[in-house]
Chain A
Amino acid sequence: MVLFLTVLMYLNLNKTIEASKPLLIKIAAMVSGGLLFLVLLASLKSGLSISAPVNHEAGLIKNLGKTLFSEYLFPFEATAVLFLSTMAGAITLTKKNS
């Protein structure tokens, strides 16, 4: 999320040098995006109901931690490895020696 905001901060600096797509492609993109929106909205019309026994403490940080560290322990460790390799990869890619 911080990355998102940083990117937002950078974007206003070079607004004038941005090329845009041709008009036909723009219209086609608007139409297809609107159609996707309508289709997704129309799928709501059939109605959906969630009737489950509500556990009123599901969102508490205590239960989240319990679920994260018991049921999803292996994915948690796997994402740690993924993140470490991502850091290494990003630094390797942007290094300026070659």
Chain B
Amino acid sequence: MAAIEVQNLRKTFPNGHTALADVSFSIPEGQFVCIVGRSGAGKSTLMRCLNGSLPLTAGTAIVDGQELIGMDKRERRALQRRVGFIYQEFNLVGRLTALQNVLTGRLGYVSFWRSMALFYTRHDRGLALDALERVGMLHKAVQRSDLLSGGEKQRVAIARALAQQPSVLLADEPVANLDPELASGVLEDLRRISKESGVATLLNVHNIVQARQYADRIIGIAQGRVVFDGAPGDFGEEALRNVYRFDREDSRAALAGVLEPLVLLDLDRALQEGEHRADTHERALEERL
């Protein structure tokens, strides 16, 4: 069964704005999917719908076996417990230590009275420490989280999501606030974790090059609709136009700045597979642009 199954999903806000017009896709377990799209395309709304924080307007969406439409409060909480969410701005509680932040990922599981007393069992603490270890942050476990650097904070946030023992991971632009180096590291971690534990992972990414480097599959969203859904290697000029330049007719020259890294990426891959020699690299680039 697919981890996420979305059919004709529509989301209209109370103010009349339709953020998602018609979105359908199906994501099997363990797949690592990047969602790309312009700001305001509805990517974040999609994420928030899928973790149950926003109610859907129409369509069907099934996340880890739970139908999102018509679920009651208890079902929603039970779902949110199994869906890890990672934010662009990390959203850690600054005054708590890294470990305490990760432990909040267990709150959905602990009993009411235990959570009142902030008493986590050995089992919960073990899971939290495992999660920290998996993102390479065990050594900072008792560091206050507002003293961590950006990349470290995001790793702790990922550990918090992992402590939930999620069956689905959603990440809303997890690397937009990080420098390119850290961003690659965090994306690598996310991909590794997704593969290790077979968790379906859906993330919004702004950088197409990163999306193409790390994703198993790219979904392009524009104006609340899916305009591209395919393998990273197929995300080329046409997809780029459909996702980012649907409302204007740009010359190739204007697109060049975005296209160039993509073409380079293709060429790099080809080079590694031995199709080109290095000296033809530049000529090939000129041809493609």
A binds B: no
